[in-house]
């Protein structure tokens, strides 16, 4: 397993660091902090009934922020549903995040998706879809298209070890290996597929061994070590571009929080197990590294987290007051021109809402 950074912020002897300087290190750390505070605030918002659903990445932030930090802006990111850190690093605004979570009329997805199903054409972040694992063969196809067009770009595809039990995983990997697609398959092995522990998901040696079986270059890393993540993705990107072949990275981590706000992990794991992994917090590890480099201090850290909490709370209060999209947005952009059958369904929907306005308090007053 590739390890570079120890929990106290010191570097392992003879470790080969990624390409990183003070500016990039601080940018990555601020993204980690943003991610942590956002998750904490939005889980609380869901508990308050302000949003319907949320998925936090507590303990896994280094995998996505570190991955994005090692890529170039033209590289495509295909995520599963816990990779908001990659978007944060690329500069997705707090307003855009909130508009998506509240499904208001400023949401880039027009309110059609569940919360945390982000997408950004501008930032090369493919819109997330709920079905598990579908992004894996799609990433292979997209990367193969990059190759055919001669682009100086790769695709990175994030998924959990639970998604690796889907048939799409095997189809995507085999296709990438056979057609030599420049795709980086990044598996976040966080120990659980919702409530199913890894030892009940597979008997083999994790996900990395499967890459070897498909003839794909593979590396296993400490997923709580952001420098190891950056180094592995930098090397993988270089290899994928030069050889025009796929790479698999298995990042060993742990999901400290619940699978989602609909999940209660106390039913399937112990507090002692969680406490063991809390000692490996990836954000604290990076903070200690920055302090040892004299790039950061406790006063700056306290100010950053306080500022983030204030900004996110303020953004929540703004986004939740913005109107929902008009009902007509349900059928636009699906086809170039709205076909007759969708027009008919839209008319029927409006009639239904007008008939039962109390059941649709947000929408009823806006029906034309």
| Active-site amino acid positions | 255, 259, 268
Q: Is 151 left (phi over 0), alpha (psi -120 to 50) or beta?
A: beta
Burial of residue 131, with CB atoms counted within 10 A of its CB: 0-12 exposed, 13-18 middle, 19 or more buried:
exposed
The DSSP string of 1-38 is: -B--B-TTSPBPTT----S--HHHHHHHHHHHHHHHHH
Question: What is the Cα–Cα distance from 28 to 347, expressed in whole angstroms?
Answer: 49
Q: Are 64 and 81 in contact (CB under 8 A)?
A: no
Q: Are 288 and 11 in contact (CB under 8 A)?
A: no
Question: What is the Cα–Cα distance from 133 to 56, expressed in whole angstroms?
Answer: 19
Q: Are 233 and 245 in contact (CB under 8 A)?
A: no
The first and second tokens of residue 178, run together, are: 């056979």
User: Following CA atoms 2, 151, 173, 87 in sequence, which dihedral angle do they give, to the nearest 10 degrees?
Assistant: 60
Residues 6+ apart with CB under 8 A from 242: none
The residue with tokens 């950056």 is 230
Burial of residue 355, with CB atoms counted within 10 A of its CB: 0-12 exposed, 13-18 middle, 19 or more buried:
exposed
Burial of residue 14, with CB atoms counted within 10 A of its CB: 0-12 exposed, 13-18 middle, 19 or more buried:
exposed
Question: What is the Cα–Cα distance from 59 to 314, expressed in whole angstroms?
Answer: 25
Q: Which helix (H) or strand (E) holds 158?
A: strand 155-160
Q: Are 182 and 246 in contact (CB under 8 A)?
A: yes
Q: Are 143 and 154 in contact (CB under 8 A)?
A: yes
């Amino acid at each position: 397993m590739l390890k570079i950074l120890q929990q106290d912020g010191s570097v392992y002897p003879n470790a080969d660091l990624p390409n990183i300087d003070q500016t990039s290190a601080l940018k990555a750390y601020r993204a980690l902090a943003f991610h942590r505070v956002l998750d904490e605030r939005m889980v609380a918002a869901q508990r308050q009934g302000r949003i319907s659903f949320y998925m936090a990445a507590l303990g896994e932030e280094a995998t996505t922020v570190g991955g994005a930090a090692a890529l170039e802006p033209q590289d495509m990111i295909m995520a599963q549903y816990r990779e908001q850190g990659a978007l944060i690093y690329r500069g997705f605004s707090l307003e855009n995040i909130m508009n998506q979570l509240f499904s208001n009329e400023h949401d880039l997805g027009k309110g059609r998706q569940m919360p945390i199903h982000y997408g950004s054409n501008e930032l090369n972040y493919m819109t997330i879809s709920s079905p598990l694992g579908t992004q894996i063969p799609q990433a292979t196809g997209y990367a193969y298209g990059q190759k055919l067009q001669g682009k100086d770009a790769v695709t990175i595809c994030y998924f959990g070890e639970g998604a690796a039990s889907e048939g799409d995983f095997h189809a995507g990997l085999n296709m990438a290996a056979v057609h030599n697609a420049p795709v980086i398959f990044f598996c976040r092995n966080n120990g659980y597929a919702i409530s199913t522990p890894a030892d009940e998901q597979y008997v083999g040696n994790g996900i990395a061994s499967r890459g070897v079986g498909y003839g794909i270059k593979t590396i296993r890393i400490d997923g709580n070590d952001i420098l190891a993540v950056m180094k592995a993705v930098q090397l993988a990107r270089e290899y994928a571009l030069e050889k025009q072949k796929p790479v698999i990275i298995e990042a060993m981590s742990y999901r400290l929080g619940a699978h989602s706000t609909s999940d209660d992990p106390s039913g399937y794991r112990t507090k002692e197990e969680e406490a063991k992994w809390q000692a490996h917090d990836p954000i604290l590890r990076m903070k200690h590294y920055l302090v040892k480099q004299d790039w950061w201090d406790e006063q700056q850290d306290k100010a950053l987290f306080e500022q983030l909490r204030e900004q996110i709370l303020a953004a929540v209060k703004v986004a939740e007051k913005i109107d929902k999209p008009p009902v007509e947005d349900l059928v636009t952009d699906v086809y170039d021109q709205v076909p007759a059958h969708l027009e008919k369904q839209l008319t029927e929907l409006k009639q239904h809402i007008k008939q039962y306005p109390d059941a649709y308090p947000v929408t009823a007053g806006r029906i034309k």
